[in-house]
Amino acid sequence: MIPLIAPSILAADFANLQKEVEMLNASQADYIHVDIMDGVFVPNISFGIPVTEAIQKHAEKPLDVHLMIVNPDHYLEAFRNAGAEIISVHYEACTHLHRTIQAIHKLGAKAGVAINPHTSVELLGEIIDHIDLVCIMSVNPGFGGQKFIQNTYSKVSRLKELILQKHSSAKIEIDGGVNLENAPKLISAGADVLVAGSFVFNSSDPGATIAALKSF
């Protein structure tokens, strides 16, 4: 199965954001993955609403916004207005996840749930048929360029089983350390969407790297 590719703009050259977005527009990328970090939920700060709006101004691909923030409910509307088509919140950051998912849908966006490496996919059993995407973190969130965690493969297979069992239409997205070595294994385990930051932007030809990630 051909995966959807979501290059993470976190690894782009922020001084040339328009150029980077135009490169993604011209590529085979399916989404633009936008990583929002608040310095509280994760030990790093990336960028926020005005930069997301600036990306949206030039983007011809849907924005897949990954909120690595506490109290995401306070910012859902702002990110939707800034152009988010998919909004993913962290399971670990949401006390009332069902309510948060309802709020995202009410805004007309697709709702995703991201899970940290220590969080079991089985915990999603009661919510899986209400969501559009599960983002399995294959690194500890907070930074690009980290090493892929190997037990992700088994999480993908178990999540795929859960999705089939619950007749859910949720897509499985993998985020962190994705490259050409692990991509085929992730796809055969059941992954639908691959996020790739440094592997794409640090390559000599990002457009060709995106095409290569879609070639399985």
What's the rounded Cα separation, in Å, for the pair 58 and 23? 11
Residues 199 and 179: beta-carbon distance below 8 Å:
yes
Q: Per DSSP, what are the bridge partners of residue 175?
A: 137, 195
What's the rounded Cα separation, in Å, for the pair 183 and 185? 6
CB of 43 to ligand DX5, least distance (A): 10
DSSP H or E segment with residue 153: helix 152-165
Of the listed 30, 132, 175, 192, which one is catalytic? 175
What's the rounded Cα separation, in Å, for the pair 15 and 20? 9
Site of interaction with ligand DX5 (CB under 6 A): 8, 10-11, 33, 35, 66, 139, 141-146, 175-178, 195-199
Annotation says 175 is catalytic: yes
- Nearest to ligand DX5 of 56, 152 (CB atom): 152
Helix-, strand-, coil-residue percentages of the chain, each rounded to 5: 40, 20, 40
Site residues for Zn ion, window 46-75 (CB under 5 A)? Answer: 66
Q: Is 177 within any annotated ligand binding site?
A: yes
**CA of 174: how far to CAs of 4, 40, 83, 192, in Å?**
11, 23, 22, 8
3, interface contact from Zn ion, ligand DX5, none, CB < 5-8 Å by kind = none
186, interface contact from Zn ion, ligand DX5, none, CB < 5-8 Å by kind = none
Site residues for Zn ion, window 167-186 (CB under 5 A)? Answer: 175
Among 20, 35, 38, 132, indicate the residue that binds Zn ion (CB under 5 A): 35
Of the listed 35, 38, 64, 132, which one is catalytic? 35
CB of 131 to ligand DX5, least distance (A): 18
- Nearest to ligand DX5 of 17, 129 (CB atom): 17
Q: Is 189 left (phi over 0), alpha (psi -120 to 50) or beta?
A: alpha
168, interface contact from Zn ion, ligand DX5, none, CB < 5-8 Å by kind = none
Known binding-site residues for a divalent metal cation equal 33, 35, 66, 175
Q: Which residues are catalytic?
A: 35, 175
